[in-house]
Amino acid sequence: MARDRRLSILLLAASLVAALSPLPAAAAKTDVIVLKNGDRVTGEVKQLARGYLTYKTDDMGTLDVEWDNVAQITAKTSFEVDDLQGGIYIGTLQPGPDEGQLMVVGLVGSQTILMADVVRIQRLGDSFWGGVDGSIDAGLSYTSSNELSSLDIFADIVFKRPSYQVSASLASTLTRQPEVEDTRRNDLTLNFLQRFPERWLAFAVGELEQNRALGIEVRASVAGGGGRFVVQTPHDELLLGLGLSLNREIPVDEPQTNNVELVLPMRYVRFSYDYPKIDIQVGFATFVGLNDWGRVRAELDLRLKRELLRDFSASLIGWESYDSRPPSPDAPNHDYGLTFTLGWTY
């Protein structure tokens, strides 16, 4: 009898725990968006980035909805919301009191924002993989008359969390021709970016480079500094920064050196979310020598990407490296390239 009583108590306790436990991750999605044409869609808001609201549904899979087509959002999970003025707000999402408004309801109050001013929404507490984006592009060319072949690979991955992001990128070019020394250009970069209110930011960068055309066998560098998004809209971003870079260069034919440089980075991104999606990215960084006064380096990267099919694209990628005083005396001051690639975004 006592044993049956203990068993009953255990079963009752287990039932209470199950009843009070949070619903599993597979529970029905309850966020609601209302489109400007009146359609209501139930699902799960993931993020707003580059003018697209990523929305996961049970019946239609994951949708990318143009932000201009969204009239209302209701979501009970907490989000981080950024606006054009550089404000950062945390809370659940509700329709505002007037048409075209979004209300962010936090623990200590609510904030009403014009939906046209919202540039970014990030879901809090999302899984690791839910915050990961990336792409891979590759191009191959061959000329039979001189047996010149070239292989280009570009890859990047970005891990986004509220207020900060970590990214890694790889750019590799190999050119080969009989009886001519192979030309290699490799660049592996790890970036950390911390965002603050009013569009201010701090950054840290670690980089490994190889560019034998400019006489660089290996250049290892770390840099850090701050900056600001001077332009941030649903279609454009312009970032300007200022920082300090420390590097160690191992030239092809000269002794290694250590350098301290002032770095001035700039990045511009323009994106269009009408089909076909088109992204334009321009990155430019100037390095001014502090212990090697008079030496100036510059790095330019350009990417024009056009959507072919969902998650597949064609890109035109260009780059140029300039060094006013290359570490190898016989090396040229400029090195540049332009390539066409096919890519996959995940």
pLDDT for the residue 8? 44
Please report, for residues 47, 155, 255, the alpha-carbon distance to residue 343 in angstroms, rounded to integers and kept in the order given: 23, 9, 39
Mean per-residue pLDDT over the chain, rounded:
84
pLDDT, mean of residues 273-299: 89
pLDDT of residue 331: 84
Q: Tell me the per-residue pLDDT of 107-120, one tens digit each, with 9 for 90 and over.
A: 878 999 999 999 88
Mean pLDDT of 75-86: 89
Contact indicator for 7, 27 with CB cutoff of 8 Å: no
Residue 252 CA to residue 234 CA, distance in Å, equals: 45
**What average pLDDT score do residues 326-337 get?**
86
pLDDT for the residue numbered 273: 64
114-163 pLDDT per residue, tens: 999 998 898 886 665 666 778 899 988 777 767 778 889 999 998 877 77
Which of 65-69, 218-222, 308-312, 319-323 is the least confident region?
A: 308-312
pLDDT at 183 over 90: no
Q: Which of 68-72, 80-84, 159-163, 320-324 has the lowest mean pLDDT?
A: 159-163
Q: What is the per-residue burial (b if ≥16 Cβ within 10 Å, else e) of 312-340? A: ebbbebebebbbeebbbeebeeebebebe
Q: Can you give the residue ranges of every domain in the chain? A: 28-126, 130-345
Residue 200: what pLDDT?
Answer: 94
Q: For residues 288 and 244, give the distance between their C-alpha atoms in angstroms, rounded to a whole number.
A: 10
Average pLDDT on 28-45 reads 88
The residue type at 291 = N
List the structure tokens of 102: 């979004």
SS3 letters across the chain: CHHHHHHHHHHHHHHHHHHHCCCCCCCCCCEEEEECCCCEEEEEEEEEECCEEEEECCCCCEEEEEHHHEEEEEEEEEEEEEECCCCEEEEEEEECCCCCEEEEEECCEEEEEEHHHEEEEEECCCCCHHHEEEEEEEEEEEECCCCEEEEEEEEEEEEEECCEEEEEEEEEEEEEECCEEEEEEEEEEEEEEEECHHHEEEEEEEEEEEEHHHCEEEEEEEEEEEEEEEEECCCEEEEEEEEEEEEEEEECCCCCEEEEEEEEEEEEEEEECCCCCEEEEEEEEEEEECCCCCCEEEEEEEEEEEEEECCEEEEEEEEEEEECCCCCCCCCCEEEEEEEEEEEEC
Alpha carbon distance, N-terminus to C-terminus of the chain = 60
Query: Are 244 and 262 a contacting pair, CB within 8 Å?
Result: yes
For residue 114, which amino acid is it? L
Q: What mean pLDDT is predicted for residues 66-77?
A: 91
Q: Are strands 70-83 and 164-177 parallel, antiparallel or unpaired?
A: unpaired
What are the pLDDT digits (tens) for 203-260?
Answer: 999 999 998 888 889 999 999 999 999 988 878 899 999 999 999 999 988 899 999 9
Name the residue with higher pLDDT: 186 or 184: 186
Residue 33 pLDDT level (bands cut at 50, 70, 90): very high
Best mean pLDDT range from 25-39, 51-65, 200-214: 200-214
Which residues does 257 contact at the CB level (< 8 Å), separation at least 6? 248, 249, 251, 292, 327
Provide the percentage of residues in the chain whose pLDDT is more than 90.
Answer: 44
pLDDT the model gives residue 254: 85
Provide the pLDDT for residue 27: 45
pTM of structure: 0.77
CATH fold group of domain 130-345: Porin (2.40.160)
Structure tokens at 126: 């999302």
**What's the pLDDT at 212?**
83
For position 100, what pLDDT does the model report?
Answer: 92
Give the pLDDT score at 274: 65
Burial (0-12, 13-18, 19+ Cβ within 10 Å), 37: exposed
Which residue did the predictor score with more confidence, 243 or 47?
Answer: 243
